[in-house]
Chains A and B, each alone.
Chain A
Amino acid sequence: MEVEIAYRPAHAMARVVLERDESIVAESGAMVGMSTNVQMQTQSGGLMKGLKRMFGGESFFRNTFTASGGAGEVLLAHSLCGDMVAMEMTPTGYFVQSSAYIASTPNVNLDTKVGGFKTFFAGEGVFVLKATAAAAGKLVVGAFGGIQELSCDGNLVIDTGHLVAWDANLEYTVGKSGSGWIASFLSGEGLVCHFHGQGRIWIQTRNPAEYGTTVGRMLPPKKR
């Protein structure tokens, strides 16, 4: 399977080239186009798994695209303007901010994790996915804005609204940004993620919730 990403960074689109009988699993609504010999199957992976996902801000269903009778391709895109990255699965796996997930090879196991009580107030990162695979595989994530890979060597503090994904071996705790809750609120930074250890962290250069709030408060109120 080949994954190439075009139209980076503002309007990235992934082109997944499938060999005969190869499949890719994608978030519902991510498909832009595909070859006619590619079959789409919609699965929830079980009612509870689907509900858990839905609760986590993702869709209830995921789609599996399989090339039948020959090679084929699927084009996938994110709903927001921004970059996409295709990551190779590693033995440690990744944590992915749930709305950043776009697609993965079928062997990638995705488990929705509740990030803890505190993260409930963060708006973002309430739910994270843990992506693990026993063998080689691919994971495609999308961001709002550009994607920057940061290497964490010791400690790093990241705004929860800017998180995309990180190596699963990194320890993380979600907490306030400033010294106190009032200072944290006034600082406009909300909640941050404190990372410890050695690993890579992918961040997005824009915060979707912040953008939505800024534009949203300039819009007229909804008529009831």
Chain B
Amino acid sequence: MQPQAHIEPSTAPTPTGLGTPHEITHGPSFAMLRVDLQPGVTVVAEAGAMVARSEQVSMEVKMNASPSASFFAKLKAFFIALIRKLIGGETFFVNHFQSSQPGSVWLAPTMAGQIAYRRLHGEKLTLSTGAYLAHVGALEMKMKFGGLKSLLAKEGAFFLELGGEGDLWFNSYGGVHAIDVDGSYLVDNGHLVGFEGNLTFTIKGAGGGLMGLVASGEGMVCEFTGQGRVYIQSRNLGSLVGWLTPLLPG
């Protein structure tokens, strides 16, 4: 039985329910997000993502940990963040945007690509490193380690697990493509954006044993099993770096 992966032509997941007013423009190549703020609403965004904001919108930098987390959980988050910063280059600070009058904040990721919107109603969604852009509401964020094997892969050593109720925006390098998995499906580690639903995954070589790992050019893959949705990106940062490196002057 072949994997029954239904390929969705849509680039963005379907929003459900009424979320925070926002608009995503300039997709799929150079997507930018505008979130309209009302008093009492806080937009949390990845450090460095702000493009512009209304003057009345205040910005406050905070460490990336859930508000309800205990001191030890925060300490753990700090160390994981520090390791992530060292190996993955992701920032571990977030900015909180708030406004006493209606105002807007514009956000954009660093790489060329799309922004996807997802409203969470208690379900869990896991993002790979660097895919998180912003959120509004009571979202719980937990850092997860992908296991020792994942260290072999340049990407995907850490995951961000999100749960709770709120709006989530995540970004990709290239377009975002949703795959509804029922059974099993393999995704290249560097192309993984995130996943949700009743899915479990293991990180392994793409096949062909050690030779396949070294010579196929596919590196590590994630094998997903179960039922749920996997988000992938149509480009891969590792490949861009691999292409640029030999072109640099010596």
Contact = CB atoms under 8 A, between A and B. Distances in A.
Interface string B12-53: 000000000000011001111000000000000011111111
Interface string A33-53: 000000000000000000000
Contact of A214 (B56, B93, B110, B245): B110
Q: Interface on chain B toward A: helix, strand, loop, or mixed SS?
A: mixed
A159 B52 contact: yes
Interface string A156-168: 1111001000000
Interface of B: 25-26, 29-32, 46-57, 59-61, 89, 91, 93, 95, 106, 108, 110-112, 237, 240-241, 244-245, 248-250
A155 B103 CA distance: 11
Contacts, number: 121
Contact of A211 (B47, B95, B110): B110
A159 B51 contact: yes
Contacts of A135: none
Contact of A215 (B25, B57, B241, B249): B241
A205 interface: yes
Interface stretch (A102-110, A126-134, A179-187): A179-187
A108 B206 CA distance: 58
A56 interface: no
A210 B48 contact: yes
Contact of A158 (B30, B52, B248): B52
Contacts of A6: none
A187 B47 contact: yes
A167 to B, nearest CB: 15
A179 B60 contact: yes
Interface residues of A, number: 39
B59 A187 contact: yes
A187 B61 contact: yes
A145 B106 CA distance: 14
22 contacts: A9-B29, A81-B112, A146-B30, A146-B32, A148-B26, A156-B53, A162-B52, A178-B60, A186-B61, A187-B59, A188-B46, A205-B26, A205-B51, A206-B108, A206-B112, A207-B51, A210-B48, A215-B240, A217-B89, A218-B241, A219-B245, A219-B248
Nearest to B61: A187
Contacts of B55: 154-157, 194
A150 interface: yes
A146 B25 contact: yes
